Structures are given as C-alpha cells and as structure tokens.
Amino acid sequence: MQLVAPSLERLESYAAALRQGWSPNNVRDVSGEHLAAIAENAAAFIQGLVTPAGTLTLGDGTVVPRLPGPLLWMWDGAFCGGIGLRYQPGTEALPPHALGHIGYAVVPWKRRRGHATQALRQVLPLAREAGLRWVDLTTDADNAPSQRVILANGGVLMDRVPDATAPDKLVWRIFLPG
Ligand SMILES: CC(C)(COP(=O)(O)OP(=O)(O)OC[C@H]1O[C@@H](n2cnc3c(N)ncnc32)[C@H](O)[C@@H]1OP(=O)(O)O)[C@@H](O)C(=O)NCCC(=O)NCCS
C-alpha cells in the first residue's frame, strides 16, 4: 500500500468505492454528493481534494471554513481508503468543530490488512514537517480498530469525553519527535 495524491487517473477506482456506498466522511454520508460532483466536473473535483479551500458542511449542517492540509489516498493498485491531515498553520490548536488533526477511513473490503496503521505511520512525518509537535485524534470509545491503529503509532490516551446520545469520545495524542 502506498499513499498517493488524488488524481484523475485514479478517480474511477475512487468512484467505484462511492458507488458501493462507501463514504470518505465518517460523520456524514457524502458518497452521493461526491459522485454528483465527479459527474459534473471530474477535474474540478480532484482540484478540490488536492487543494482544499472554501467551506465544509458539518454533520449538523453548519458551514465552516476548511482547514488546510493534504488528503491522500491509500492505493494498492486500486483505491483502498483515504487519510487527511488538517491543521492551523503555526499552532497545534484546532477549532472546536475539528475532531482531530488526522482522519482516515478504509473501504470495508480492504480492511484488516494493516492499511490504516501504515497510512497513519506515513502521514506522521508530514505533520512534523508542517511544524506540529503532536497530533490529536478522536475515536469513538467503541471503535477498537481505530484505537489499535493509533496505539500502534505511539498514541497516548489524553481524555474521555462523555456524550449522552452517542459513544464517549476518546481523545488521543501522538507526540512527534523533533
Ligand atoms: C478504523 C479503520 C480505518 C481501520 O482500518 P484497517 O485498515 O482495517 O486497520 P488495520 O488493518 O491497520 O488494523 C488495525 C488494527 O485493528 C484491528 N482490527 C481491524 N478491524 C477490526 C475489527 N473489525 N475488529 C477487531 N479488530 C479489528 C486489526 O487487527 C489491527 O490490530 P493489530 O494491530 O493488533 O493487528 C477501518 O475499520 C475503517 O475505515 N473504519 C470506519 C471509519 C473509521 O472508523 N475511521 C476512524 C475514525 S476515528
């Protein structure tokens, strides 16, 4: 598995995952939206992934500015998943709507092959290069696979935030050696 920048050449494999109902957004199903955007203008869609700008719609419909940071695709000859790094330049602080610096998702038919663990390992140096001394990640308390991905990359549990209507949120930190 390698991490690659989203590109037109690989877009069909990404679209195939969307057509199977996979959503790159863990909070909100955006598969239909992405397929519509690809059909409308594939080049502009890729450009939007590669140089994120503009706004982002949260699960509750709130529209917020998009944070800078690369989105990369996991690729093993076909699309396996995505991993994104986001940060505010010059600080580790995140705005309240950002659950963490790094988010990832693997398509169900490529899971349990170590892809997410490898992807996170490969993104940490990019975070360091961006000037971050640590990255924070949030998982649901019942998301054991994601917690194992973080633990395998040196993550430390920092906080547990209760949620009355959903699983507790676990906040993790990975320190990045200078
Ligand atoms: C979480 C997720 C990204 C893991 O992807 P993956 O490529 O399958 O992860 P890995 O293969 O690197 O596996 C990581 C660990 O979790 C374990 N694991 C994976 N799926 C599991 C499952 N369904 N049940 C139990 N353990 C599981 C693996 O055995 C591995 O453990 P190990 O390191 O002790 O061997 C994937 O399940 C996913 O996309 N889930 C939906 C989106 C999501 O939850 N994203 C993270 C939000 S915080």
CATH number at residue 46: 3.40.630.30
Q: What pLDDT does 95 receive? A: 87
Q: How far apart are CA 168 and CA 81, in angstroms?
A: 25
Range of the domain at 72: 2-175
Whether residue 67 contacts residue 55, with contact meaning beta carbons closer than 8 Å, is answered with no
Q: Whose CA is nearest to atom 34 of ligand 1?
A: 148
Q: How far is the CA of 18 from the centre of ligand 1 (A)?
A: 20
Record the pTM. 0.93
Tally of domains in the chain: 1
**Tens digit of each residue's pLDDT (9 = 90 or more) over 73-127:** 999 999 999 999 999 989 999 988 888 999 999 999 999 999 999 999 999 999 9
Q: Whose CA is nearest to atom 29 of ligand 1?
A: 112
Beta bridge mates, 139: 170
Render 31-98 in DSSP notation, one character per residue.
Answer: HHHHHHHHHH-HHHHHHHHHS--SEEE-TTS-EEEPPP--EEEEESSSEEEEEEE--BTTBS---TT-
Q: To test ligand 1's pocket by mutation, which of 102, 113, 146 has the most ligand atoms within 8 angstroms of CB?
A: 146
How far is the C-alpha of 160 from the C-alpha of 106, rounded, in Å? Answer: 24
Pocket test for ligand 1, best of 30, 117, 143 (most atoms within 8 A of CB): 117
